Structure 1
Amino acid sequence: MARTKTVAVAAATSLEEAEKKIQRLGEVQREISRLEHDMNDELNPIKEKYENQAKPFKDELNALQTAIQMWAETNKPDLLTGKAKTVKCATGDFGWRTSTPSVRITGVAVVLERLKQLALLQFIRTKEEINKEAILANPKEIEHVKGITIAQSESFWIKPFGSEIEVEGVVK
């Protein structure tokens, strides 16, 4: 497991020192960003080179898979016996997988109404939950309710000043 190096940090002792530290923080962030951009500039041609080399193999892979599947689908009744869904060959196996059943509903409101009309209420879920938005809108009304508290926290943030380069037609 890699260890993270900890750095001893001296707290700012004045507003002026905090301002200098914020300025340095912005400089460091920009340097990291420049290094990341340089890294990506160097990686992109390498990635493209290998993707181009792999393309004929990917195309052949897709053609082979399609050819095998077309033959297997045509001969499926002869290849499978009983409940088997896998065919074992000397060079590898192939077969079919059945997905897990899923329910698809189109027109939820219409389907809900039909289920109600047919008295099939066991297929309708009613979810009861606390309305937190209403509590936040009316906090005084629930002050006496045990188990409800309204929490709020404060976090510290720093945003160094900087400007972005504008390119004609494109605003970054």
Structure 2
Amino acid sequence: MYTNHIVENEKMTDTIARIKKTDTLVPNSISQASALLGKLGKTQDSINKIEAALKEKIAKLKEEALKKLEPLIIDRDKKVNALFTFAHPRKEELTKEVKSIVLATGIFGWRLTPPSVQSDMDDEAIIQLLKNTGNSKFVRIIEEVNRHLLLEEKPLIAGINYSQSDEFFVVPKQTRKKPKILTHAIDR
């Protein structure tokens, strides 16, 4: 026999925590818990099956869309190249007073891109070059909290606390092995 309980479940939506009360049947013995866990496994199998089918449908839809998009993208790129081929030799004439040419059907023109640093070397080589040439001011040193070391040593520092939660987890046996662990933090 199951016992009827009102259980509060927290649901997070955006940044607001909402608490939803549900009428839940709670097992009274380990055998009832085992039966419930079996039912949970079947429910998770159904969820996994639906998610797999959804993933497959999404992949097919993406593939179909890409097939439809490919000729359109090629056509668009040809049109952009044609406009550039027209405009480039006339750039000086077209941009005497403005950088953008406004037409009834749209706008084309030139604009400056944001400045960027270019090099054929990888970042490590650039860092070494900057240090070796006395330009280490151009090497950024990033400071960040070493949380792993804090957790390892746990020094007593005002304003820093250490916490650990006790979470309830369930791993039901499933027909298709897609391990899915359901975890819920236990409220204190």
State TM-score, norm by structure 2: 0.62
SS at match of 1:137: helix
Write the distance in 1 (CA, Å) between the matches of 2:50 and 2:77. 38
Tell me the residue number matched to 1:58. Answer: 73
Write the distance in 1 (CA, Å) between the matches of 2:21 and 2:72. 47
Tell me the residue number matched to 1:89. Answer: 103
Shift of the alpha carbon at 1:64? 0.9
Structure 2 contact 101–109 (Cα < 8 Å) conserved? yes
Unaligned runs of 5+ in 2: 1-19, 178-188
Residue in structure 2 matching 1:79, options 94, 103, 121: 94
Shift of the alpha carbon at 1:76? 1.4
Q: Quick one: which amino acid aligns to residue 99 of structure 2?
A: K
Distance 1:88 1:128, change over 3 A: closer
Matched, 1:110 2:136: no
Distance 1:38 1:94, change over 3 A: same
Matched, 1:30 2:42: no
Q: Quick one: which amino acid aligns to residue 41 of structure 2?
A: G
Shift of the alpha carbon at 1:124? 5.1
Structure 2 contact 38–172 (Cα < 8 Å) conserved? yes
Write the distance in 2 (CA, Å) between the matches of 1:30 and 1:14. 24
Q: Quick one: which amino acid aligns to residue 114 of structure 1?
A: T
RMSD of aligned alpha carbons:
3.2
Distance 1:113 1:43, change over 3 A: closer
Deviates more, 1:125-134 or 1:10-19: 125-134
Tell me the residue number matched to 1:154. Answer: 166
Distance 1:43 1:111, change over 3 A: closer
Deviates more, 1:94-103 or 1:123-132: 123-132
Write the distance in 2 (CA, Å) between the matches of 1:17 and 1:104. 66
Unaligned runs of 5+ in 1: 166-172
Which of the pair has the greater relative contact order for Cα pairs under 8 Å at 6+ separation?
1
Q: Quick one: which amino acid aligns to residue 169 of structure 2?
A: W
Equivalent pairs: percent with the same residue? 25
Distance 1:153 1:81, change over 3 A: same
Q: Quick one: which amino acid aligns to residue 32 of structure 2?
A: E
Distance 1:101 1:154, change over 3 A: farther
Q: Quick one: which amino acid aligns to residue 74 of structure 1?
A: P
Q: How many residues align?
A: 153
Write the distance in 2 (CA, Å) between the matches of 1:13 and 1:20. 11
Tell me the residue number matched to 1:133. Answer: 148
State TM-score, norm by structure 1: 0.67
Higher-strand-fraction structure: 2
Write the distance in 1 (CA, Å) between the matches of 2:66 and 2:146. 52
Structure 2 contact 100–108 (Cα < 8 Å) conserved? yes
